Amino acid sequence: MTLNPQYAWVRRLIALAIFLAIWEAAARAGMLNPIYVPAPGKIWLALVELFGDGRIWPHLEATFGAALGGLALGIVVGIALGILAALVPLIAELLEPIMTLLNAIPRVILAPLFVIWLGIGIASKIALAFILVTVVIFFTVYTGIKQVDRKLVERIVTLGGGRLTLARHVYLPSVAAWVLGNLKVAVGFAFTGAVVGEFVAASRGLGYLLGFAQSTYNSALMLALVLLIMVVVLIIFAVAGKLEKYLLRWT
Amino acid sequence: MTLSYGGEPVLEGASLDVEPGQFVSLVGPSGSGKSSLLRAVIGLQRPLSGTTDTGLPANQVGMLFQDDALLPWKTARENVALGLRLIGVNSQAADREADIWLARLGLTGFENRYPRHVSGGQRKRIALAQVLARKPKLILMDEPFASLDAIVRSRVVKDVVALVESEGISVLLVTHDLEEAISLSDAVYLLGQGPRAHIIQRYDVPIPRPRDPVKSRLHPAFTPLHAKLWEDLSKEVDHRAEEAA
């Protein structure tokens, strides 16, 4: 059987609908324990309730604030450190092992430490999102600059371009291209950092709600939150994708 | 001039004579240091000894590489205009000039295209426009046509010859293609095998201008000159091989 790839989304949608229908039917027939596996309808109701009484907004705001704050900070610092390391060999020598180590460990293990250092407020969440993002961006920029096409550099030099011209017309666009190419990864990391940070210790945020749902055995709320986080990240991915497509239209 | 990469000199004692408006080629086997010589002249590489004076200010010497090395994030117009901006032309005039030169190279309608969105031949033409727009007195070419397929290549070469003839630009072309060298040049320098390569001889090409690069291969002077160059080059390569053995 040959599948028309154009209609893949239709087939996926149908499969999902069938899956949800079976799940719902099984739940209504009493074949699933609602404590562990609530019916899709119940999950939907939990979601509607979250938005219905408006109590989700401060949590969404907290998570978004932490994720976007960490993302922005991580990108700025990651780019700055990447450029510095590429330009100053001593800084590269000192930074590389630290970054390699941070890259090798699951950085979310730092979450409890950040809570001790920065408290249960938004700062510890921003810090976690930041450390997750900055390491990725650092390596992107650092290795990227070292691999800037020599031919482009030589071309500009033969046209009489100096360091400033090279920085503006060769290095800066190259760096921007690499960062944009990794933007989706960075966005994913930023939300991971924010949510995990909130999960560890917080008084607000989607991660906090997840912890609350867990402690009250409210699996409908938990699945509703998982669904919500998925949707949020997908929307941001779509925006990042559009931005990337526009700014990298020359590729 | 002597060139080396730190070890034994690749190229030794090369001196070339390019008259104003003359098209001169430098041919030789791989590893003879042809490219290095051009890189030294344009200042990308420092010679071990000797000087590389073209007698011209740097902004009157243009260079065409085998790779077009256009900035991929800039459009055709922006790439050509950048070359002009770097010799002090203001931004509006640079854009205007860029469009004029792109048109002269047959790229009207491609001004806003990015290098990755045009063909290899068109990229070559953009790179040419970038160099020609700066009104150079001398253009150094490092196998610029090698990456093009035959038909595109002969058309680009034809336009290049017409433009450098009409603008009175001197050209120093580095190539390993003897036929291309003879058909385009007023004089051909033959470079021996490296290391310690040196210039074997200068051969004048008595084919009149203006030239059609394809038809000049049918000129009666072409075949004997080609045979002579080939013989001298073979002798040199064999001689070096014997020396090495």
- Closest residue in A to B41 (Cα–Cα): A158
Least confident of A163-177, B161-175, B181-195: B181-195
Give mean pLDDT, residues B84-98: 91
Same domain, B86 and B191: no
Same domain, B7 and B80: no
Same domain, A191 and A146: yes
| Chosen from A148, A151, A158 to mutate, greatest number of chain B CBs within 10 A | A158
pLDDT of A73 > 80? The answer is yes
Q: Is B237 on the interface with A (CB under 8 A)?
A: no
Same domain, B189 and B245: yes
Give mean pLDDT, residues A107-126: 92
Nearest Cα to Cα of residue A236 among A186, A176, A194:
A186
Same domain, B131 and B146: no
The CATH number of the domain where A144 resides is what? 1.10.3720.10
Same domain, B226 and B175: yes
Same domain, B132 and B144: no
| From A152, A160, A170, residue closest to B86, measured CB to CB | A160
Give mean pLDDT, residues A206-234: 91
Give domain status of residue B62, yes or no.
no
Same domain, B168 and B203: yes
What's residue B13's pLDDT? Answer: 60
Residues from chain A that touch B117, judged by Cβ atoms under 8 A, are 250
Domain that residue A28 falls in: 1-32
Give mean pLDDT, residues B69-96: 92
pLDDT of B56 > 90? The answer is no
What's residue B8's pLDDT? Answer: 54
Q: Do B59 and A160 touch (CB under 8 A)?
A: yes
| From A149, A160, A173, residue closest to B87, measured CB to CB | A160
Same domain, A17 and A132: no
pLDDT of B230 > 60? The answer is yes
Same domain, B145 and B120: no
Q: Do B63 and A160 touch (CB under 8 A)?
A: no
pLDDT of B6 > 50? The answer is no
pLDDT of B243 > 80? The answer is no
- Collect all residues from A whose CB is shorter than 8 A from any CB in B: 149, 151-152, 154-161, 165, 169-170, 173, 177, 249-251
pLDDT of B52 > 70? The answer is no
Strands B23-27 and B170-175: parallel
Q: Interface pTM (ipTM) of the complex?
A: 0.81
pLDDT of B194 > 90? The answer is no
Pick the more confident residue, B5 or A94. Answer: A94
Number of domains in chain B: 2
| Chosen from B71, B87, B132 to mutate, greatest number of chain A CBs within 10 A | B71
What's residue B11's pLDDT? Answer: 57
Number of domains in chain A: 2
pLDDT of A78 > 50? The answer is yes
Same domain, B156 and B129: no
Pick the more confident residue, B8 or B56. Answer: B56
pLDDT of B115 > 70? The answer is yes
Q: Confidence band (pLDDT; 50, 70, 90) for B143? A: confident
- Closest residue in B to A151 (Cα–Cα): B69
Pick the more confident residue, B135 or B35. Answer: B135
Same domain, A150 and A241: yes
What's residue B12's pLDDT? Answer: 59
What is the least distance, in Å, from the CA of B110 to any CA of chain A?
Answer: 14
Give domain status of residue B156, yes or no.
yes
Same domain, A196 and A93: yes
Give domain status of residue B66, yes or no.
no
For residue B85, what are the contacts with CB-CB under 8 A and spacing of at least 6? B91, B94
Q: Confidence band (pLDDT; 50, 70, 90) for B9? A: low
Work out the mean pLDDT of chain A and round it to a whole number. Answer: 91
Stretch 188-207 of chain B: residues touching chain A, C-beta under 8 Å: none
Least confident of A95-99, B47-51, B90-94, B198-202: B47-51
What's residue B53's pLDDT? Answer: 65
| From B44, B62, B115, residue closest to A157, measured CB to CB | B44
- Closest residue in A to B80 (Cα–Cα): A159
Residue contacts between A and B (CB atoms, under 8 Å): 50
pLDDT of A11 > 80? The answer is yes
| From B65, B87, B114, residue closest to A151, measured CB to CB | B65
Same domain, A114 and A225: yes
Give domain status of residue B240, yes or no.
yes
CA atoms within 13 A on the CB side of B80: 33
Same domain, A216 and A127: yes
The CATH number of the domain where B197 resides is what? 3.40.50.300
Same domain, A2 and A105: no
Three-state SS string over chain B comes to CEECCCCCCCECCCCCCCCCCCEEEEECCCCCCHHHHHHHHHCCCCCCECCCCCCCCHHHEEEECCCCCCCCCCCHHHHHHHHHHCCCCCHHHHHHHHHHHHHHCCCCCCCCCCHHHCCHHHHHHHHHHHHHCCCCCEEEEECCCCCCCHHHHHHHHHHHHHHHHHHCCEEEEEECCHHHHHHHCCEEEEECCCCCECEEEEEECCCCCCCCCCHHHHCCCHHHHHHHHHHHHHHHHHHHHHHHC
Give mean pLDDT, residues A215-235: 91
Same domain, A15 and A99: no
Domain that residue B83 falls in: 71-136
What's residue B5's pLDDT? Answer: 46
| Chosen from A154, A155, A163, A245 to mutate, greatest number of chain B CBs within 10 A | A155
What's residue B36's pLDDT? Answer: 77
Q: Do B86 and A165 touch (CB under 8 A)?
A: yes
Same domain, A24 and A99: no
Same domain, A27 and A114: no
Same domain, B145 and B175: yes
What's residue B48's pLDDT? Answer: 61
What's residue B69's pLDDT? Answer: 86
Q: Do B130 and A159 touch (CB under 8 A)?
A: yes
| From B83, B115, B116, residue closest to A159, measured CB to CB | B83
